[in-house]
Amino acid sequence: MKILVAVKRVVDYNVKVYPKADGSGVEIANVKMSMNPFDEIAVEEAVRQKELGKATEIVVASIGVSQCQEVLRAALAMGADRAILVETDAAPEPLVVAKLLKALVEREQPNLVILGKQAIDDDCNQTGQMLAALLGWGQGAFASKLTLGEQEIEVIREIDGGLETVALKLPAVITADLRLNEPRYVKLPNIMKAKKKPLATLNPGDLGVVLATQLTTLKVAEPPKREAGIKVADAAELVAKLRNDVKVI
């Protein structure tokens, strides 16, 4: 069984981001970048399935600039077998990413595709669902536990009311939620071995996909700063503040 995992290069989750001076986007120059945390969980789950003997090959793919090789090498160090970079300087929208991944799926013929449920930079939470729709495959979004069989996969997924269990016929698309697993710490020997693993580079034209833009960013700005809180002496003063100052009662 082959598993394809999609990963994205984003600003590291520990870094505080700031908008550009012209408001056209987020400043990423000289900022630490890393693998999207939800995608890291997806890679970890694929590696665990291979360690259980359920998968035979793990292919990781990323779409973006040449520096995305860094996150692909990180995924290879975690245990993936080979990597594919679809190189483009453009910032593709979720639908374009889904179309590129669809083309990769048709090229690689995996039995299972795992993605992070969303990227922490745009928080779109769309690519996995769009990919499943384009492929006509079943999907298990927001997965917190997977049980992989030969012909189907059981997914426990997180919903607003609690947990839902669904059984999907393979092939299928899964999006990983936070509680699916905890990614392993990558040791130095594995990082060195990852440098020798194959990493192929393609461009969107090789996959027959046109990078059309349908979304326009109007402005990126910081949220308004919150005013400092105050202390009140008693409940009567609290009610008065809520009624007269805030006007919520």
Query: Is residue 128 assigned to a domain?
Result: yes
Query: Is residue 230 assigned to a domain?
Result: no
Query: Is residue 239 assigned to a domain?
Result: no
Domain count of the fold of the chain? 1
Query: Is residue 22 assigned to a domain?
Result: yes
Q: In tens digits, what is the pLDDT along the chain, a chain of 249 residues?
A: 999 999 999 999 999 988 998 988 888 888 999 999 999 999 999 999 999 999 999 999 999 999 999 999 999 999 999 999 999 998 889 999 999 999 999 999 999 999 999 999 989 999 999 999 999 999 999 999 999 988 999 999 999 989 999 999 999 999 999 999 999 999 999 999 999 999 999 999 999 998 888 888 889 998 888 888 889 999 999 999 899 988 888
Round to whole Å and give the CA distance between 185 and 138: 32
Query: Is residue 135 assigned to a domain?
Result: yes
Query: Is residue 184 assigned to a domain?
Result: yes
Query: Is residue 33 assigned to a domain?
Result: yes
Residue 24: which CATH number?
Answer: 3.40.50.620
| Domain membership of residue 61 as a residue range | 2-222
Query: Is residue 106 assigned to a domain?
Result: yes
